[in-house]
Structure 1
């Protein structure tokens, strides 16, 4: 697929070879370029020949010698070099389908792009892929690939994803593992549908793909209050959340005994719903599923306690407020008490923000909106600074899900705001006024 070059970095290999903005890239070393994966794969050679067409329609070639992984300085209109592949499923638990109207447009995009999985860690369902694309992934040694499995029962997967290809695409999972591609998987679990015996079967099926199948994250379905006309689902409660943890842990114990790794993990939210203690950091191995909320609390607590032990001072002062999701309230409150015990001059108030926007079933900090923060902290004594988890903001760190900005919060509540990453050392420093 010919791709127009938008710009060429100054002093780059591309500029030195005479390539200009507006030229069209056709091939690299004789290989056609379909997208960014092809481009990145073929430019790793130390000697490359690019076939191009200049802005006047004249064909020419550019030859470059470089280091194996050096970039050549070409920029394209989009990072992927073509359109992002969107999801063709209609999953019964899809969070995008549960979004209210009137939010920013990007929140309604259903991503299911294998390139985004490799480049940014997004999860894909495999239903968009072809035999040729699977072969390309294996040829290029693209690892890891993150896959939403949900169940290995073909008929149940079709039911849950409302896509006939959901059954046959499961074959790609085995093919990738057989091709020595590393795979991380996730299971969004819905009570009475793909948990219980169905979950036991899925775990056993996935376990047979170890070691190239590296990890399994088990996440409870998230239900907002915007579900009119959607598939009837219910949220996990204390009893069935605990039962689900037991199923996962039984499988994980067998894997650990056989291979030395647990492989399967319940997300932190399962432990919170079951009202069970979060396991210690050692439970989570290499923390391979942090983006799925697996081990976030344990890692944060472990890092925070290390920061506390290493702190030789005890005279910090300041008055701070922390707002977080209801699920993390207990942890953040206990960590703040550790700080106040060590630093008597520090006062910290912690608020668990109830999610009025999406509904009270949603308890994670990453889905708290700016308007809920303002409404629930209005008129409160907030001290010198308001600390917020950075996961509340989009990747650009400028807006909440409801388009509120940090400046909106500051102006309406009359207090400076600092966002803090999910890092125990950074949180400790923020609580003690050092950042």
Structure 2
């Protein structure tokens, strides 16, 4: 096991030691390294003996003293050196099993690694964990973790995850709590399976585990047209989504009355499907599960409102801008806003709220023909579907805004492996990405000076156990 160095930070201890990308970090003070967690704890010592293997195969020992809080100053190719631990389940609702064939290999990884949970907030089921894992969690106090509960009924959890160890959840949570580890929880809600009375049971059980249980996120099962599992799962519709909202709101009211926190949060899709207003920002308690799609729309709206409020004399500036347009007899700027079908009405509402900016904004809600039209979030849109939706619009607008969440970190490519640069080249006008409410406001009000991700990395990460990818506000 080793950590291969990808990048050396300027002015760092690693640069001073003349380490280079490609070097392999093998040991620190005699400790073999499994991941960056081991590196962090081993490197906390002030006297360091470090074994490194260079690309030519030669090994070298570095001995040096350092300050207690001084870091090595490197970035590794992977956070885990012994490989990401894969999932032991065969979940009825697994989204990875529903990915289209012949897509990039990374989309087919079923990760279920407690280290990735601690480091990056990935959800774990804990079905592949043994006593040594819990001992290490206790030793390093790896807290908080993110746990995919799905339900607390042991028999039903075994059925949902199709794993014989899935019924051990209660005992495993007891171990985390005995180690004073906190955890956020998630329930992927499957209609007519773990909803209704089973959801009641799960919520009661998790609420009783406070304060170690920090939150509950409830997300709807995602079903694509590539699902081949013979078990009949149903998508939520307006009526069933409304039932979930009403059921959870009763618990939310109890929680807020008891300790001023909502604690239980619903994914935006439930409110949008049910035609209900999104809860106010205070109901999200600082958005503890934002990366899981909880409160994304409300957070986007809050960012947009903050940008409006922060704009210097925004109303006067917008009015002056409009008057100048009239004096110059210029045509209004025409923009097209691309998004998933569920969030498009909200994007239109925000654009209309600042219509004085003079833009003519055309909404382009994109049906997801790739995964299936029941998948309506922006983060799962492909370049092909967006280009098809833009076919009749591109030549009639001055610019196009697309959701940053549809791009993958680093290479800026879409799920169907079309690069952002190739996507832009296929359109006859300027294309920019939007990842936040602030960016959306600035794109609409200052298009000439606005810039999206460009050549920088977009914020995207696949989470197999979350039923969806991490999703941006568009």
Alpha-carbon offset, residue 407 of structure 1: 2.7
Q: Secondary structure at the match of 1:50?
A: strand
Change (3 A) 1:4 1:310: closer
Q: Secondary structure at the match of 1:214?
A: strand
Alpha-carbon offset, residue 59 of structure 1: 8.4
Tell me the residue number matched to 1:377: 390
Give, in whole Å, the separation in 1 of the partners of 2:381 and 2:397: 21
Alpha-carbon offset, residue 22 of structure 1: 8.1
Q: Aligned to 1:428, which of 425, 438, 441? A: 441
Equivalent residues of 1:388, 1:420 under 8 A apart: yes
Q: Secondary structure at the match of 1:327?
A: coil
Give, in whole Å, the separation in 2 of the partners of 1:131 and 1:347: 60
Q: TM-score, normalised by structure 1?
A: 0.91
Equivalent residues of 2:3, 2:78 under 8 A apart: no
Give, in whole Å, the separation in 2 of the partners of 1:15 and 1:94: 44
Equivalent residues of 2:219, 2:266 under 8 A apart: yes
Tell me the residue number matched to 1:329: 344
Equivalent residues of 1:7, 1:75 under 8 A apart: yes
Q: How many residues align?
A: 431
Alpha-carbon offset, residue 69 of structure 1: 3.1
Tell me the residue number matched to 1:228: 228
Tell me the residue number matched to 1:366: 379
Is 1:351 the equivalent of 2:350? no
More off after superposition, 328-337 vs 310-319: 310-319
Give, in whole Å, the separation in 2 of the partners of 1:65 and 1:182: 35
Give, in whole Å, the separation in 2 of the partners of 1:187 and 1:224: 19
1:57-81 Cα offsets, whole Å, 9 max, x none, are 9987543322333222466554321
More off after superposition, 180-189 vs 168-177: 168-177
Change (3 A) 1:266 1:20: closer
Give, in whole Å, the separation in 2 of the partners of 1:322 and 1:54: 49
Tell me the residue number matched to 1:301: 301
Change (3 A) 1:109 1:298: same
Q: Aligned to 2:400, which of 386, 390, 400? A: 386
Give, in whole Å, the separation in 1 of the partners of 2:62 and 2:70: 16
Equivalent residues of 2:28, 2:50 under 8 A apart: yes
Give, in whole Å, the separation in 2 of the partners of 1:358 and 1:90: 20
Give, in whole Å, the separation in 1 of the partners of 2:424 and 2:178: 53
Highest RCO, 1 vs 2 (Cα 8 Å, sep ≥ 6): 2
More off after superposition, 315-324 vs 98-107: 315-324
1:206-225 Cα offsets, whole Å, 9 max, x none, are 11221221111000001111
Alpha-carbon offset, residue 258 of structure 1: 2.2
Tell me the residue number matched to 2:67: 67
Change (3 A) 1:326 1:16: closer
Equivalent residues of 1:339, 1:346 under 8 A apart: no
Change (3 A) 1:309 1:134: same
Q: TM-score, normalised by structure 2?
A: 0.84
5 Å-filtered alignment, 1:142-221, equals 142-221=142-221
Structure 1 residues not aligned, in runs of 5+: none
Structure 2 residues not aligned, in runs of 5+: 323-331, 451-474
1:318-372 Cα offsets, whole Å, 9 max, x none, are 22110100000110000111121x32x2211111111111111111111111111
Alpha-carbon offset, residue 38 of structure 1: 1.4
Alpha-carbon offset, residue 411 of structure 1: 2.6
Give, in whole Å, the separation in 2 of the partners of 1:76 and 1:294: 30
